[in-house]
A = this chain, B = another copy of it.
């Protein structure tokens, strides 16, 4: 496999972006990424979008975005894996360059969720329609069941869940692209409107519009832009049953475990080698379960791990320095790309107030549904 580098990135602000349409959001992010990388052409493009058919009545997203970005007739295709559509777009872009087929690939993601669609129904299409949604359960309910099971099995507390949101909002308060860039308190999280017991609205990521893009390149191209070389040294993806009831233990996210194992194997690294991580905190409980599967802490100990400040900006392994899905926002298809944007900015020293010191190796973990898909990328800064 040929080596693959990240040479630039760009994203829109996440939020309720009424002034921009679905295509506008992608084009804004794409142009920023192209400018940031300093390139003058693309060889191909992959666009992560979860359910633009239901959100805005538009499929055929690859060609549409290539046209509006002004890069047609390059090959452009949409990639969908529910909430990890963006991460999967990065992975396929990675494979495209690794194969030698392309030298410069744009991997992007976009979602326009605030355009009048029934968001809860649209998102529920990431769960098993026949065995979950049909019976009335949607994602807050599914994650609430995971939270209850984790609390019962491992003694995880309500405060520990809330601490995830408090930490991520603290980080997000320093991110100009965040949808909710404000600090919150444990009490605010616990006393917020209940969505699905024990999860309140402040345990949940918001409904967002947004776009994000990264530029991937072969070694030949990356060497022409020697500012700071960031290499993708690991990529792993995996799947699990869509329906939660088909898993032996709903607190275990096997797809996360397997995807991480593959990425670590490719990188030749262990969890302790990671300097910072962006993980898929669609709900606070998700961040806890994911940290365990990534090997950042022991199984069942994630609540205490967060409570003790290990994942804070100045902790042992800063997690979701961008604010995560929770504070930064979660425009589904763009989320996995925005994670790589954050890791790239951290590794190149462009993360402003939320900069992690001496960050050399970062990990991005993006998840779909209640954990039926997961993709992990490990990025490394090669020079200073």
A33 vs chain B, min Cβ distance (A): 18
Copies of this chain assembled into the complex: 2
Contact A77/B63 with A53-B125, A122-B53 known, Cβ cut-off 8 Å: no
Interface residues on A, range: 35 or more
B75 with A77: CB separation less than 8 A:
no
Alpha-carbon gap, A91 to B67, bound state (A): 20
Alpha-carbon gap, A75 to B60, bound state (A): 23
A305 vs chain B, min Cβ distance (A): 25
By a CB distance below 8 angstroms, the chain B residues around A133 are 57
A63 with B1: CB separation less than 8 A:
no
B242 with A67: CB separation less than 8 A:
yes
Contact A1/B100 with A62-B81, A75-B239 known, Cβ cut-off 8 Å: yes
The reply to whether the CB of A50 lies closer than 8 angstroms to some CB of chain B is yes
Of all chain B residues, which has the CB nearest A128? B64
A78 with B81: CB separation less than 8 A:
yes
List A residues 41-60 near B (Cβ within 8 Å).
44, 50-51, 53-54, 56-60
Alpha-carbon gap, A41 to B220, bound state (A): 35
By a CB distance below 8 angstroms, the chain B residues around A238 are 72-75
**B2, B21, B51, B72: which contacts A241 (Cβ < 8 A)?**
B72
B372 with A67: CB separation less than 8 A:
yes
List A residues 247-263 near B (Cβ within 8 Å).
254-255, 258-259
The reply to whether the CB of A240 lies closer than 8 angstroms to some CB of chain B is yes
The reply to whether the CB of A88 lies closer than 8 angstroms to some CB of chain B is yes
Of all chain B residues, which has the CB nearest A72? B239
B125 with A73: CB separation less than 8 A:
no
A57 with B239: CB separation less than 8 A:
no
Task: Beyond the given A54-B59, A63-B81, A67-B372, please list 10 additional residue pairs across the A-B interface where CB-CB is below 8 A.
Answer: A51-B59, A60-B82, A63-B255, A63-B373, A67-B246, A72-B238, A73-B254, A77-B80, A77-B81, A95-B101
A–B complex contacts, Cβ < 8 Å, 30 sampled: A1-B99, A1-B100, A2-B99, A21-B130, A53-B53, A53-B125, A59-B80, A59-B126, A60-B82, A62-B88, A63-B82, A63-B240, A64-B372, A67-B239, A67-B372, A72-B238, A72-B255, A73-B238, A73-B240, A73-B255, A73-B258, A75-B91, A75-B239, A75-B259, A77-B80, A77-B92, A77-B237, A79-B79, A95-B99, A96-B99
